[in-house]
Amino acid sequence: MIPRLNRCLVKLGSFSKRMDVSILLFGATARDILFSHMHGIESGRMTMDVDISVQLPDWDAYRRLGEAMRSIGFINKHEGHEEKFTDQETGQEVDLIPFGELAQDGIKIIWPDDQSEWRVTGFKDALNNALMLPVISDNGEMFCGGGNWYQVIYIGHLWDIAVKGLS
């Protein structure tokens, strides 16, 4: 795993413990982590962003979580895209996608600002069904500062993988 990604995941793991939320990592980065840890397969492809999702009751909770991310060094520099953050320390781009009670029928979210619809089908199941992988520090040691491990699951035919930050 590249150092900036690893440092960002360690930071997000500590953040999830402090905020008492579970972070679900999905998309190409999650797939690459699973293939590397479980099968020793390096993708050779590097996506620029990390897609994370958090189960939340409403949009106010999402905005509070975004404010908390900004307080630990993430910035939102894409006007009109409140889901896009960048870790100022590492330069790692992170997309924060909510799911949970704020989703209509657990299937889709509708962004309040522009009314665009995004599907979040399967995120709850992904959060509940996972394998565990450790987060490793830059020097190769298992990260123990926050006791962070990540749970990894494969979402079947969707070809997405979810990683849950545990505290």
pLDDT in tens, 123-137: 888 887 765 566 655
Q: What total of structural domains would you count in the chain?
A: 1
Residue 133 lies in a domain: yes
pTM of the model: 0.78
Residue 110 lies in a domain: yes
104: left (phi over 0), alpha (psi -120 to 50) or beta: beta
Residue 165 has pLDDT above 80, yes or no: no
Name the burial class of residue 140, with classes exposed (0-12), middle (13-18) and buried (19+) by CB atoms within 10 angstroms of its CB.
exposed
Residue 87 lies in a domain: no
Residue 123 lies in a domain: yes
pLDDT at 163: 42
CA 93 to chain centre: 11
C-alpha 107/C-alpha 71 separation (Å) is 30
Q: Which amino acid is present at 164?
A: K
Which of these, 48, 63, 130, lies nearest to 95 by C-alpha position? Answer: 48
Structural tokens at position 91 = 């330069």
Residue 78 lies in a domain: no
DSSP 78-105: STT-TTEEEETTT--EEEEEEESTTSBT
Averaging pLDDT over each range in 46-55, 85-94, 131-140, which range is the top one? 85-94
Average the pLDDT over 104-125 and give the result.
Answer: 89
Residue 85 lies in a domain: no
Residue 84 lies in a domain: no
Q: Which domain holds residue 112?
A: 3-65+95-166
Q: What does the pLDDT look like over 58-74, one tens digit per residue?
A: 999 999 999 999 999 99
- Looking at the DSSP bridge assignments, the partners of residue 153 are 162
More confident residue, 80 or 138: 80
Which of these, 104, 159, 151, 106, lies nearest to 127 by C-alpha position? Answer: 151
Residue 160 lies in a domain: yes
